[in-house]
A and B are shown apart, each in its own frame.
Chain A
Amino acid sequence: MPRAATTTDAFNAVAEPRRRQIIDVLADGERSVGDLVGEIPVSQPQVSKHLKVLKEVGLVKSRSVGRQRLYSLDPLALKPIHDWVQEYERLWNERLDRLDGYLYEIQRKENQ
């Protein structure tokens, strides 16, 4: 299915390796921009830019605590990707189950 080349959905948003790193860190819990800069070798402006994209597609949400803004993951937005991996696994299982059944049948016939 064709998708827009911009950052309009979760797939596009996670296509960027740095953004996946950010998601990975946020999977452990809330972080500030400063925290992220400390954990990922990316400059603060870059982290902010990536967070903006992740927020636009709903993968990341933020809240203010005092003077800090904390970012966290909204895992529900990752559901399309989760579904994709599951669908991919399901398709391979179907195909290889058919292969399995076919191998069984031709061996059974050979042995008759």
Chain B
Amino acid sequence: MKTIDRTGSAEVTLPSDTEILIIRRFDAPAELVFDVWTTPEHVRNWWGWDTDAMSVCEIDLRVGGGYRFVAGDGNREVAFRGVYREIDRPHRLVSTEVYEPYPESESINTLTLEEEDGVTTMTIVVAHQSKEARDGTIVSGMERGLQHSLDRVDKVLIAELENV
């Protein structure tokens, strides 16, 4: 039986102008989490939407090797690709990521796994090029480039919405 229900426990924050930070804990050893993250046979079981198998799941897990994931839910299809830059199983994985409709939106994603007492904490930092946030013309880079100060605005917004 599962001891802790961690559903919906991923924390997403915006630590800087250009980064997104995602933190999530798993009740599994780091080696297993790493393998499930980097092996096509495993990735196919969780990456896409529930309803549709991934149409493409290619992984060449070598420094300089690439990956490409394509998944759809019948209405839309999303395609991501990138190149592995650092591989240190099971602690660290650095790769580039491009959302294919926006080839200029490349980010550098750093995945870190830390295991303690059988619980692995996954940390993902999605770092966009600051230029993109500055330019303000690249939608995905821009939307992700929102700085944490907007969190304060968020509070104002929530208060406002509650009053409507």
Contacts and interface: CB of A to CB of B under 8 A. Distances in A.
Given A2-B139, A79-B157, A100-B26, A106 B36 contact: yes
Given A27-B153, A92-B22, A75 B160 contact: yes
A27 B146 CA distance: 15
Interface in B9-61: 9-10, 12, 14, 17, 20, 22, 24, 26-28, 32-33, 36-37, 42, 45-47, 50
- Determine chain A's interface SS by DSSP, over half rule: helix
Contacts of B36: 99, 102-103, 106
Interface of B: 2, 6-10, 12, 14, 17, 20, 22, 24, 26-28, 32-33, 36-37, 42, 45-47, 50, 122, 133-137, 139, 142-147, 149-150, 152-154, 156-161, 164
What is the predominant secondary structure among interface residues of chain B facing chain A? mixed
B104 to A, nearest CB: 13
A3 B156 contact: no
Given A15-B133, A85-B14, A99 B26 contact: yes
26 contacts: A3-B139, A12-B136, A12-B142, A14-B146, A14-B150, A15-B142, A17-B133, A20-B146, A20-B149, A21-B149, A27-B149, A76-B164, A81-B146, A85-B146, A85-B154, A92-B24, A96-B10, A97-B8, A98-B50, A102-B45, A103-B26, A103-B28, A103-B32, A104-B27, A106-B32, A106-B36
